Structures are given as structure tokens and as C-alpha cells.
Amino acid sequence: MATTTWRKGLGWGMAACALAGALPAMAEGGAPAVRHPVTIDDILALRSLSGLECAPDGKQAVYVVGEADLKADKRRSALWLADLAGGAPLQLTSGEDSASAPSFSPDGTRIAFLSKRGKDKLAQIWLLDRRGGEASRLTDVKGDIAGFRWSPDSKSLLLMITDPAPEPPKDDPERPLPVVVDDVKFKEDGTGFITAKDHAHLALFDVATKAEMRLTATDSFDVTTAEWSPDGKTIAYLANHALDTDAPATEWLTVVEAKAGAQPRVVARIPSASGQSLIWSADGAKITHLMGNEPKLNQYNQPHLAQTEVASGKTRLIVSTADIYLQRLVDLGGGRVGAILAEDRHEIAAVIDPVSGVIQRLGDGKLAVADQCGSSSPKAPRAVIASGDAVMPELYVVEGGAMRVLTAHNRALNAGIAWSPVRDFAAKTSDGSEVHGLLTLPAGYAEGQRYPTVLWIHGGPTAQDAHEIDTMRQWIAAQGYAVLAVNYRGSSGRGDAYGTSIAADWGNKEVLDLNAATDWAVAQGIADPARLMVGGWSYGGILTDFLIVRDNRFKAAFSGAGEGNIFALFGVDQYIQQYAQEVGAPWKEPELWMRLSEPLLHADRIKTPTLFMGGIADDNVPLIGGQQLYQALKLTGVPTRLVGYPDENHGIARPSFQRDRLERIVDWFKQHLK
């Protein structure tokens, strides 16, 4: 099932690039290094790159490098600065305090970022002088800062912020307070129960005086993104009205003057889209943004490019993008918009002209772009974070059809690993459709030999398996298994019709596609039909449940953050919008809800030994989905196990738990592969 946050996989695929992978691994003395299949230690040593932003003059880029602190059993993040012309990048922050969301001031003199330091309960905004020196704390606000934007004159910040939590009684500061909810949607992974204080509003913050002024009221909707107009007099923002009965599944594009007492004006009601951005035209007359699908299908969020006139509210779809999944818009100046296109196993950097609709694809296509930035100077370089099948994340500059590597955060680690080869494949399904995917060959693969094979299913479903570093698939392949990654119907990358074809029909067409891919691997002489296994996380876990209730050919299964009974999650998870708009309430569509609960209601048909797993604090797909099927298999005598990770949400963050999960999955497969 799907919303903006959807039941996605865990992000095992990381972003990276090509030159590092092309360099020969050298041991001390110049001899070629001995490469080894990827290990858990390698995976935990991988540095992630994110939060990329280019300087206004286009000469530098700031970004976040994350890594595991195994001793403290947590992840840490630091800011780095790269010169886009070349040269070694510079680490800006370090130590115990993590940093995120870096942003250059428009005058180019400072970098603002979020960090929680010392006794802070919530992250505050800190400032770094671009010339160097220690960071200084700027804000001391009481609410949770969800995001911020510099004003064009660099004198103010626009804060997206929640209200502070209620203070406990002074006579008993340890006493917990009741949780009171009033909204239709009252759960969100990572937040838990949503109360009135959790709705983000806008505030202005004066950098010199440190005075904070509320700009919009806290209401029953969230401000999802906001942006200053070029002249700094007006702010445009999007308010999430996904559950509005008059205009469902919409974001309300609204403008308000940047001054006290100003009244917001709704410009247009736009179909919701994930990963929203707002880009003003230079004259302030238009705003370019993303636009989603009709309400019933909006949960599948195939974002396309659109432009709205501020005065009239007229919205125009950029027709050339109507069947392309767009992500991470950036302003490239001169009216040009940068985007990342999800296109059939590839994530491609592109430039779009909203007037003509012309799309120019950049890079060599071999690398999957995960993040990007650019400046409003048309001649400034474009920076991206990208990866390939055998290359870990690095920062690059895009130069036409080429990508020039700037960093070496993972180069030494990458050079010692013998990554398993990845091949494209296509298969015909029983209903005549064509499904595409990726085959990762097992370590030590020999042509003509059959191998035990794992069907590893991505989450989402609005996502795709692409040519990027995917440490989970590589880890499984390192154990001697072939790995099938299938972009079943519902995946992004192949247009709207392909992505929305599973609406209110979960576990049907996707299962046909997954079975067709498995049959293809057997027919190719790669997969051993007697040694097939299946697994996945989130929607991948959900589809695993559907597969094993209908087919006993899999010798072992892993269902992470899955669900076998949709009835159990109504009012428990965060997907009330999808239930209301796509599926219908259970009392209105009881037969559909029964069909979507097939894994539990027919659990006596399951004969596959299955490992169930999830985060105990997950409000995206709560662990109850695994608990129920675990209990059912215990009663029917099928080998099973349930693993819950304390204090973890939908994504497992603690390094020791990440190690544990990787070990348990392959151990389960080995245990039941006879």
C-alpha cells in the first residue's frame, strides 16, 4: 500500500559512483589487492552521503556524511565541503554531535545546519562561517524544527516548526501526560501519536536579533514545504490536505506576505506528490512544483512537473513529464529545473525547460543518482551523489554525458570488495505483461551451473530496483545465492499505468510478476527449482506473505515489516488516507478487506518455514502484521520465528541490530535449505 511515506524498503541500496569502481585495487607495494565478497563489516563501514546543497556561486557543495559508530552502537553524521572544480573535500563538523540539513546563506558567507548538542532535547540551527572556524548556535526555539529556508537577503530564516510539547506538572515533572488526538490521521512512523502540537507551521526568525515571529497558525494540516519569493516579500507554501473531504489527496498551494498579521491566500489545490519542491520564476509570477495523480490513485505518487500562476491559480502540467517519475527538483537558473528521473532500473539526472517541455538527460546512465544540487547560475556545475552496481557512494560533477568524481569517502573500502555481477532481465507473465528486473549472480558464479536463488522483493511499491549499490542483494549473493530483484507492477520507473495498475488489488498482479521472474531464472538454468527462497521488507514482506500462502515451492521465507491481515492495521498504522480513498472502509468493502487478508485467513495453506521481523516502535507497518502470521504458523506446526527490535521504527538504525538482521536472514535461509 502507499502514501507519501509508503511501505518502502529499508534503503539497503546506497548511492555511489564510477571512477572509484574503475580504479584497480592495489595492495601495499603496488601489487593488485585481493578482493573478497562483501561482508557485514564492509556494509557497516560504508559511509552514506546525503543532504547535498550547492553554494550560490556554484563553486562549492556542502553535504552530509553518515557512518556507524560501532562502539557507541549508533550512527553519526558530519558536514563536508567540496570544491566543485576539484581538490580534497574538507570536513566541517565532527565529534559526538551529528549534523544535518546544511544550507548556504544566499550571500554565500555562512552555512546553516541542524544539530542537537549538549543538553538539547531538540535540534537547533547552528551557523558556520564559510571561511572556517567553530560553529555558533543561532536558535533556541522550543518546538521541533522540521525545516528552514534562508531569506534572499540572508537576514532572516523561514522556519517550519511545531509547537513545544506541554510542560509536565511542576510538582511532579516525571508524571506522563495523557495523549489527546483529534485528527483523522493520528499515527506517523517516527512520531507515534499525532497531537495538535505535531502540526508544522511557519515562523520568521531574525538572524541578527534572534526574534521569532509566527507567520501561520497551527492547524489540522502540516506545512510540507515552503519557499521565499525572489524579492523576499512573499512566501509560498504547501499545506497537506490529504484527508480533506472537499478536495481529497491535495496539497494547497498558499502564499502569504512575510510580515506580522498577514493573511494567507490559497492559490491552487494540487494533487499531492511525494518529494515536493517549490521553485519561483525570476519575476515571481509562477511557481514550478510537482503534481501527483487523482485521489484514488494518489497513494502511488508518480510525481510529474507542473507550473502554477500565482495570480490566477491556473496550473499547467508539463506534458513531456506526464509519464515520468520525477524526484528532487532544483533551480538551475534561467528558468531551467533540475530533476532526477526514475526510468526502468535507472535513476538519471536531467534538465527540464518548463516552457518548451524539453528534457535533457545527463550522465552516462550507468550510475544511479540519489541526490543533486545546482545554483541559479546557468553556467555553474551540477553536483550529484550517485552509485553503480559495483561502486559505493561518492560525490560527482555532471558534465554532459560524463560524471567526474570529487570524493573518495568509500574508495578504499570499495576497492577491496569483489562485487557480484548484476544483469538486466525481462520475463513474460501469465497475463501477457512484461516484467523487468535485475539478477545478481552468486559469488564464484560459473556459467551453466544452477544455484540456490533468493527472490528479494523491494518495498514501496512505489520504488524500483536500480543499478546502484544494494548491500542486501550483494550480501545474499556473497553467501552463494543468485538474487532476483523484480520491478513488479506498482513499481516506479515504467510510467503511471504500470505504477497504478495494482490500486485496491494488492497481492495479485505483483505475484504474477514475481512468479514469472522466478520461472525465468529456472528456465535460464540459473535458479535451482528445488532451492528457491523469498524475502523482503515492508511491501516486500507483504508480497512475501501473499506468495507463500499461494505457493509452497519456496523452501524458506523472510517477511520483514509485513502484514497478513489488513483488518488488524486499520486505526493502528499511518495509512488511513489510503484506506479511505483507495480501498474503502472495512464496513463498506468487507469482501475486498477479506481478500486482502488472505495470508492470515488461509494461513493453514502456508508450508514454508518463515522468519518474521520488524521494529517494535514501527507505526508504518506495525509488528502486529508479523505477530499474527507467526502465531498462526506456530499453531499449524510450520517452522517459524519472530524477531522484534526495541525502539526501532520502520527503518532499523542501530548498527548492532543491522548486523543481527543480516545474520539472521541468511542463517534462516541456510537452516532450511536442504
Q: Give the start-to-end residue ranges of the domains of the chain.
A: 144-167+181-317, 420-671
| Residues with Cβ within 8 Å of residue 571, at least 6 apart in sequence | none
One-letter amino acid of 63 = Y
Q: What pLDDT is recorded for position 287? A: 97
pLDDT exceeds 50 at position 668: yes
**Nine-digit cell at 460?**
514501496
Structure confidence at residue 16 as a pLDDT band (50, 70, 90): very low
Mean pLDDT confidence for 77-83 = 96
Residue burial 400-434, b: 16+ Cβ < 10 Å; e: rest:
eeebebbbbbbbebbbebbbbebeebebebeeebe
The CATH H-level superfamily of 420-671 is Alpha/Beta hydrolase fold, catalytic domain (3.40.50.1820)
One-letter amino acid of 180 = V
628 touches 566 (CB < 8 A): no
**Nine-digit cell at 320?**
513531456
Structure confidence at residue 30 as a pLDDT band (50, 70, 90): low
| Packed helices 539-550 and 509-523: angle between N→C axes, nearest 10 degrees | 70
Alpha-carbon gap, residue 282 to 354, rounded angstroms: 13
One-letter amino acid of 210 = K
Work out the angle at residue 567's Cα, subtended by the Cα atoms of residues 462 and 177, and round it to the nearest 5 degrees. Answer: 90
- Mean residue pLDDT of the chain comes to 91
Structure confidence at residue 32 as a pLDDT band (50, 70, 90): low
**Residues comprising the chain, all counted:** 674
How many Å is the maximal CA-CA distance in the chain?
75
Alpha-carbon gap, residue 359 to 322, rounded angstroms: 12
Q: Residue 656 to residues 8, 46, 78, 645: CA-CA distances in angstroms?
A: 22, 15, 21, 10
Mean pLDDT confidence for 89-112 = 93
Mean pLDDT confidence for 73-92 = 94
Mean pLDDT confidence for 8-36 = 46
**Could you read off the pLDDT of 265-318 as tens digits, one per residue?**
999 999 999 889 999 999 999 999 999 888 788 788 789 999 999 999 999 999
One-letter amino acid of 16 = A
372 touches 384 (CB < 8 A): yes
One-letter amino acid of 134 = E
**Nine-digit cell at 178?**
495523557
Residue 641, classified by CB atoms within 10 Å of its CB into exposed (0-12), middle (13-18) or buried (19+), is middle
Alpha-carbon gap, residue 590 to 583, rounded angstroms: 10
CA-nearest of 401, 490, 440, 422 to 7 is 490
pLDDT exceeds 50 at position 8: no
**Could you read off the pLDDT of 51-62 as tens digits, one per residue?**
999 999 999 999
Identify the CATH class of 144-167+181-317. mainly beta
Give the long-range contacts of residues 270-275, CB within 8 A, separation 24 or more. Answer: 270/238, 270/306, 270/308, 270/315, 271/295, 271/298, 272/4, 272/240, 272/242, 272/298, 272/301, 273/301, 273/303, 273/304, 274/4, 274/6, 274/301, 274/303, 274/462, 275/303, 275/327, 275/328, 275/329
One-letter amino acid of 644 = G
pLDDT exceeds 90 at position 174: no
Q: What pLDDT is recorded for position 96? A: 80
Residue 473, classified by CB atoms within 10 Å of its CB into exposed (0-12), middle (13-18) or buried (19+), is buried
305 touches 339 (CB < 8 A): yes
* Rg value, the chain, Cα: 25
CA-nearest of 92, 103, 96 to 120 is 96
Mean pLDDT confidence for 386-405 = 94
Structure confidence at residue 22 as a pLDDT band (50, 70, 90): very low
- The SS3 of residue 550 is helix
**Nine-digit cell at 141?**
526555539
Alpha-carbon gap, residue 483 to 422, rounded angstroms: 9
Alpha-carbon gap, residue 286 to 308, rounded angstroms: 6
| Fold match flag (144-167+181-317 vs 420-671) | no
Alpha-carbon gap, residue 112 to 105, rounded angstroms: 7
Work out the angle at residue 497's Cα, subtended by the Cα atoms of residues 323 and 621, and round it to the nearest 5 degrees. Answer: 105
pLDDT exceeds 70 at position 6: no
Q: What pLDDT is recorded for position 33? A: 66
CA-nearest of 457, 322, 589, 599 to 12 is 457
Residue 533, classified by CB atoms within 10 Å of its CB into exposed (0-12), middle (13-18) or buried (19+), is buried
Mean pLDDT confidence for 646-671 = 97
CA-nearest of 551, 398, 457 to 18 is 398
- CA atoms in the 13 A half-sphere facing the CB of 611: 25
pLDDT exceeds 80 at position 17: no
Q: Residue 519 to residues 47, 249, 458, 484, 533: CA-CA distances in angstroms?
A: 37, 38, 18, 11, 13
26 touches 412 (CB < 8 A): no
Q: What pLDDT is recorded for position 186? A: 87
**Could you read off the pLDDT of 199-253 as tens digits, one per residue?**
889 999 999 999 999 999 877 678 999 999 999 999 999 998 888 877 788 899 9
Alpha-carbon torsion angle 657, 660, 662, 668, nearest 10: -140
Q: Which helix (H) or strand (E) holds 670?
A: helix 655-671
Q: What pLDDT is recorded for position 297? A: 84
**Could you read off the pLDDT of 513-549 as tens digits, one per residue?**
999 999 999 999 999 999 999 999 999 999 999 999 9
265 touches 281 (CB < 8 A): no
Alpha-carbon gap, residue 493 to 343, rounded angstroms: 4
Alpha-carbon gap, residue 434 to 431, rounded angstroms: 9
Work out the angle at residue 183's Cα, subtended by the Cα atoms of residues 182 and 187, and round it to the nearest 5 degrees. Answer: 110
CA-nearest of 622, 671, 609, 610 to 649 is 622
**Could you read off the pLDDT of 405-457 as tens digits, one per residue?**
999 999 999 999 999 999 999 999 999 999 999 999 999 999 999 999 999 99
Q: What pLDDT is recorded for position 236? A: 97
Q: What pLDDT is recorded for position 364? A: 83
